[in-house]
Chains A and B, each alone.
Chain A
């Protein structure tokens, strides 16, 4: 989240789209209700009327997979009706920048597309710079090549009629949402958006969010209290996981994992350290080398030296152009290229798309190691339905892991609050914290490499790996401190702006990432978490101060918010160019003439009106401004509606590109797709429920929870039920071209058929919380992912769980 949970109460309008907040963030939802209490309007846009809709002011159903059309229509509305926040757009976004002359968009494709590779060459996606290397601007916003005009042109194609026809949303409802939401484009109103997997689980997932980011920039809602783009992260500590680089393309703190062609530290740093010639752009990522080198030092300590590029060569590299997402991993497994699999805190056989392929793929493994609290379908794949254990040669291990309350450590919520928590009880039996399991396994591997050598042995042998305490158990404090960062030698830090010099001793903790060095003087496991300890060794993550001086729910002394305890990021955009708050009644920050007061400011520099020392507010962006034109995405600097990989239409109403042209197509024999087919005529979406946790691998064992949601069901409209002669509670079979999911029919008023391109399109939905292992008689049902396709977001490979085609029949 750019903001945080408590901040939701400050909004005047809350759009919940791509999220079922009340069901999956039930505790956080109370902040949304607090906003409602104060008179905010809460809107829920979702294919299905859910428990969230019941508490919102109104619900707007839309066909799953059409969010960009819906939001594109909103951008069109905002620009046509002049609803944007002019001062903000002019000064804080790249609206005035000039798009490169070679950039174009035509019939669904941006310039630079290679149809063979299904990839864009982004060379033309540039903004023009003047002789000094500073972006050209047209402050009148009238230049037809200005980002503003290009934006307007691009989204002018999303007319009400078009959008209504694609999404199945009535024009009435579209206008209702657009009017209410765009009313926040004024200084004294804040609009916020809450999304979750309803937006990310699409082949256009990242662009869904991009579109909303554009809206929020146009309305001046970024960086203010009650505004922002707020991802409600997942239950299994997804925020903490991504912060600490669970994603294959990241290093801790969202640093970039290197590809093989970046063959030296210098080449790597050159690629990823942005350069800005504009003195008013803070371009904070210019400090990238400090974060990266400190990370390498954290791994290899004194073995990483300036001479050996701080061990850069030891870092594993990705093959250029290759990806290693879960779907890629399963694909490689299916093709026999993966020997062994560590499945930690996951149930791949139920959660990964195309379960039939996944389960078949696992049969090729030589070994499987599970680390989990309970057994699950993945660890028992060798005796699953239709599998003959005698034919499986995989050696399977299951290591019992401690549950969250059985270990001490930090947990990070969506609001970037890193909260320290304590151990309540010992894990039963032999259960250990996963951290301890990993450390011990790696220590043993290290010993083997020391004895036997091997490819890239130095990387392992040279690891600083002393994270066990005297009793031989996981020393979470030691790990936390290493993550925070430590001075490896006596260091003097000079603050030229303040004219101060601070001395730090060897071994002292780094109090902020601003103190990290690129010359090897500091080690830091995760730069964004730097500052979670003070230089005196106080754990800020454990602080529980309830003071709230601004009254905005910032709670500055409650836990540690990364980065540097900043609660709302890009907060300098909540003030005008002189540093005066846009809305004095919701003062997040204010420039006193000498310093910023309020939240931790986005850098100490004066506001941008000070041409000498002042900086633009979006300090992490190279140009210092919010990107309306965003060339960082692989599938376009603007978003565009493409149909889901497997959708009901044969033709995309917007262009000749039916599906996302940059999204990868998997082509094994088990990766079938069937679009616009009479055999699978219904749009299906999948989701969880409040009562179960993801695959249900943890919660199906809990009698109280299983009692409430005992088995798999499909929610279908009364109209579809009538058509197929299906009674409420009857057994049915849901099928896609990839597999089947027998379950119970839940006939409901909460789904209604859509009219899309003049035809009736039915939408159904299923939870994915069940697997064959438990309940033991299989009565709970098996994985819903039998139905889903191996397809995912072009940028992140987040699978398209939320839009594919099925049939529903009486069993």
Chain B
């Protein structure tokens, strides 16, 4: 911690994010152990494939709760597309695929991040529902149960793809971003580059929480 850092996330957001992320990772790994025979060996690390399934199921419950909490926490900011700025950003691929002189400015979260939120929210919910049906199949008609397996697999494919991009862009792809979720504080220049509109808003409203500076009482960015 030092001067010049700005708080971008509070403790609740970070805790929530990591519970969700770690449970999601755990689910992916345990799920992989059951999806491919070549990954069955993962079961031996926890004393048997049956234990792997048990871990998958119960971590899934943790995932479910944290997903609900995080959706509630972020849906306004990260789940609603704002036009035309979001579309302009998309047309420029956010400056990530080819060189763009000036990346269109978007709000606190750019469409890429919003897309990731929506994918996790929707497909995560799909995983939860399909997972629950797979856990208690006898309660449901067999025709319904049968389609839960390919859907669950599909959900994994989509979530994994988006997750990996999120991981890449949240770490080495955008140096200086990962701190947003670890310490919660970011360098002002990085913040300005990545989220110029939000930066301006906070500057105008005097909402920066700068390290070492007494914060004025204000509304926080989330509810």
CB atoms of A and B under 8 A apart anywhere in the complex? no
